[in-house]
Amino acid sequence: MLFANGVNPHEWWAKGEGEAMELSSTLQPLAAFKRDITVLRDLHVFNNTSGPHWPLFSNYLSGAQFKETLIPEGGESLDQVIARHTGRETAVPSLVLAVEPAESGLRSGVPGVYYSTVSWSSKNTPIAPEVYPRAVFDRLFDTSGLLRDKSVLDAVLAQSKDTRRSLGAQDQQKLDEFMTSVRDLEQRIERATKAERLEGWRPTLAKPNMERPAAELPQDVREHMRMMLDLILLAWRMDKTRVATLIFNRDVSHMKFGFLDGVLNEQLHSISHHKEDPKKLASYQRINQFHVEQLAYLMQRMKQVDEGGGTTMLDNVILQFGSNMFNGDSHDGRNLPMVLAGHGGGSIAGGRVLDLSRKAEEQQRACNLYLTIAQRMGVKLERFGDSVGALSGLMG
C-alpha cells in the first residue's frame, strides 16, 4: 500500500517496543496494533534518492534504475515476482489497484505511467492499476469471459504449431514469448473455473460477502479507498489471489483532502511542498494520518478473520505500507516512511522499531527488505534489484 508525496518529517517517528512503544501523531491510528507492526527506519531505494518525482515513484517496488526514455524501461517489481510464484495456485495472479487513475502519454519528457504505477511485470511492461471497484470484483468472480476465451486459445495453440515450422530462429523466439503469455492465460482459465481445490487449506469464505459494486467510479475518496481495501480482504479470504498492490494516490497527486477537518483544500502535491509553513505542515500531517487510518482499518478487519489454529488473517499476512519519499518538500528518497504490519505466518515478531541508521549503507537497501518478503512468500531467490542479502533482524 503506497501513498504519494512523502510525510510531514516532524510527525513520523516511533520509539520503544511492545505496548510501551511511543507513536507520533501521524502513527497514532496504529496505537491498538503496536504488537502487530514493525516501523522501519533508514531504509532507502538507492538508485534514486533525490531529484524529480518519477524516479522516486516508479522504482518504489523494484529498486531499478528507470530510464529517461520515451519507451518505459525499468525493472520487475516485487509484487509481480511473488505473483509469478503464488499465482500458480490462484485464479488471479495479483491485483494491481489504485484510487487515482494511471496517466497516459508523456509528462516532462518521460512516460506518464512512471508517475502512476509501481507494478511492472518486466522491465518494459508497466501494469496500469485498476481504479473501478466493479472491474476488480468482476475479475475475481466473473469467469464467463474466460470460458469464451478458452475456445479461442485452443485454436491459437493449434495454429502456432504449424506456424512455428516455417519461422526463422529469431521469429521463433518471438512466437515462443507470445505463446508463454497464452499458456499463462490458459492456466489462469483452468484455475479460475475448476470446481474443487486440491489443497488441504480452505478459504474462510465460500461466496462473496459484499454486493457487486456500482459501475460508476466512487466520487468520495474515503468510500473509494475503503472499497478497494474491502476487495483486497475479500480476494484474500476467498484465496482468489495472494498478492495485492494498492496506490492511494499517484505521484504529483491531484487529490484534495478538504473533507478532513483543518486541511487546506489544495492538491496533495502542493501541500507536500510546505516550505515549513505551519498551515501546510498541519494539513500534510493530517493527510498522512488519514492514510495511516486506512491501514488501521484493514488491520482491524483482518484481525477479525479467524483462520484456525488460534490465528487470524493478520497473523498470516505481510502488509507493506508507506510512501515513496520522506520529506516531499525536498523529494528525499532516503529513510522511506515504511511500516510492516502482520506477522507473516509467525515469522515477524512485531511490536518494534527496526532502526538501520547505524548499519552499513548496503544493509539499508529497500531491496534487502523486498528479497526477504519474496523469500518468506516461498520464492527461491538469492537477489532482487540491488539487494546484498536478506534484511538483517526482520525475521525470527
Query: Is the pLDDT at 19 greater than 60, yes or no?
Result: yes
The C-alpha cell of 194 is what?
A: 475448476
- What is the per-residue pLDDT for 252? 86
Burial of 381 (0-12, 13-18, 19+ CB in 10 A): middle
Query: Is the pLDDT at 361 greater than 80, yes or no?
Result: yes
- What is the per-residue pLDDT for 151? 57
Q: What is the DSSP letter of 363?
A: G
Q: What is the DSSP letter of 71?
A: S
| CA gap 94, 83 in Å, rounded | 6
Full 3-state SS string of 43-65: CECCCCCCCCHHHHHHCCCCCCC
Using alpha carbons only, give the angle 319, 320, 325 rounded to the nearest 5 degrees: 160
| CA gap 234, 162 in Å, rounded | 43
| CA gap 298, 210 in Å, rounded | 15
pLDDT band at 193 (very low <50, low <70, confident <90, very high): low
**Cα four-point dihedral sign 21, 24, 30, 31:** positive
pLDDT digits (tens, 9 = 90+) for 94-143: 999 999 988 888 888 888 888 899 999 998 899 999 999 999 999 998 86
- What is the per-residue pLDDT for 73? 86
The closest of 110, 111, 117 to 62, measured between CA atoms, is 117
Query: Is the pLDDT at 50 greater than 90, yes or no?
Result: no
Percent of the chain with pLDDT over 70: 87
* pTM for this predicted structure: 0.87
**Residue type at 40 in one-letter notation:** L
Decide which of 207 and 199 is more confident. Answer: 207
Query: Is the pLDDT at 20 greater than 70, yes or no?
Result: yes
Query: Is the pLDDT at 344 greater than 90, yes or no?
Result: yes
Mean of pLDDT values over 281-292: 98
Decide which of 52 and 5 is more confident. Answer: 5
pLDDT digits (tens, 9 = 90+) for 93-108: 999 999 998 888 888 8
